[in-house]
Amino acid sequence: MNGLADRLRVYYEGNSEEAQRFRYGLLIFDVVTILFIVATSFTPRSIYVEIADAAIGVLILADFAARFAIDRNRFRNFIHPANLADIVAIVSFLAPVVGEGLGFLRILRTVRLLRTYRTLELFRQDFRFFRTHEEVIIAAVNLCVFIFIMTGLVYETQRYTNEDIGNYADALYFTVTALTTTGFGDITLPGTGGRLLSVIVMIFGVTLFLRLAQVLFRPNKVTHECKVCGLMRHDPDAVHCKHCGTIIHIATEGQG
């Protein structure tokens, strides 16, 4: 068992090319899972969709079991939000096999994307564009994840009772119009629950949107911790820390 755990730890935590390819594969699997969730909203449920649900659920379960096996603080981390989201995702994908309708819970699988932020170091190493625009990319990803989760909530809570919400495209249209406070009025969420959901989209969505705009339009900075005062944000060509004056050594691409 220890040999298997050590092998899994190499894949999940190692720095070899094989381990890096494995983690990229996990990221691709997450993206494919999300695309599957969206695509199946446009088609009627069928035995083939149920089989695909079960297959994805088994893969997520295998990934979760592997991470649990190598976790040095497994019982403490078991209640981490990302792990709880994975558990809900596993149940929601496998539930159709036993006839339970937990499709709504499938959107929580999107939270799994947040766990891939552990690969930031790998992205910095492999992609110069990511190193240069890391903060913008992360802010954009946070906004996209929020939009997707809200779209999923709108879709799953409204598709059976609201004739204007027939698929993810309709739910996305409403979410974006609410987020931007455009509010054309052609699609609304009736009832107290629908109004509360609309309020959540507008408040939290606008907050994330403003955060993204702030990152896009403020002067470009780089992340580098000053060893004396701990200041993290500096000008790309800074030689001294603006806060304490200590000489800092910011890694560059070797170009002026």
- Mean pLDDT computed over 112-128: 68
Residue 79 lies inside a defined structural domain of this protein: yes
Is 205 in contact with 199 (CB distance < 8 Å)? no
Q: Provide long-range contacts, Cβ within 8 A and 24+ apart, for 40-43.
A: 41/155, 41/159, 41/167, 41/168, 42/167, 42/168, 42/169
Whether residues 17 and 96 share a domain: the answer is yes
Whether residues 147 and 34 share a domain: the answer is no
- Mean pLDDT computed over 143-150: 81
Whether residues 22 and 112 share a domain: the answer is yes
Whether residues 159 and 207 share a domain: the answer is yes
29: nearest Cα among 6, 60, 54, 53? 60
Whether residues 161 and 234 share a domain: the answer is no
Instruction: Look at residue 46 and tell me whether its pLDDT is greater than 50.
Output: yes
Instruction: Look at residue 241 and tell me whether its pLDDT is greater than 50.
Output: yes
199: nearest Cα among 184, 189, 186, 187? 189
Q: How confident is the model at residue 247 (pLDDT cuts 50, 70, 90)?
A: confident
> In this predicted model, what pLDDT tens digit does every residue of 89-102 receive, in sequence order?
888 888 765 444 45
Residue 85 lies inside a defined structural domain of this protein: yes
The distance from CA 47 to its chain's CA centroid, rounded to whole angstroms, is: 29
Query: Of 103, 123, 143, which marks where a domain is finished?
Result: 123
Residue span of the structural domain in which 161 resides: 133-218
What pTM value is reported for the model?
A: 0.69
Between the two ends of the chain, the Cα-to-Cα distance in Å is 52
> In this predicted model, what pLDDT tens digit does every residue of 176-232 receive, in sequence order?
888 887 778 788 888 888 888 888 888 888 887 777 777 777 656 777 788 888 887
**CATH number of the domain bearing residue 153:** 1.10.287.70
| Total of domains in the chain | 3
Q: What is the pLDDT of residue 256?
A: 44
Q: What is the pLDDT of residue 100?
A: 42
Residue 128 lies inside a defined structural domain of this protein: no
Which residues have C-beta within 8 Å of that of residue 107, sequence separation ≥ 6?
37, 148, 149, 152, 153, 156
Whether residues 205 and 231 share a domain: the answer is no
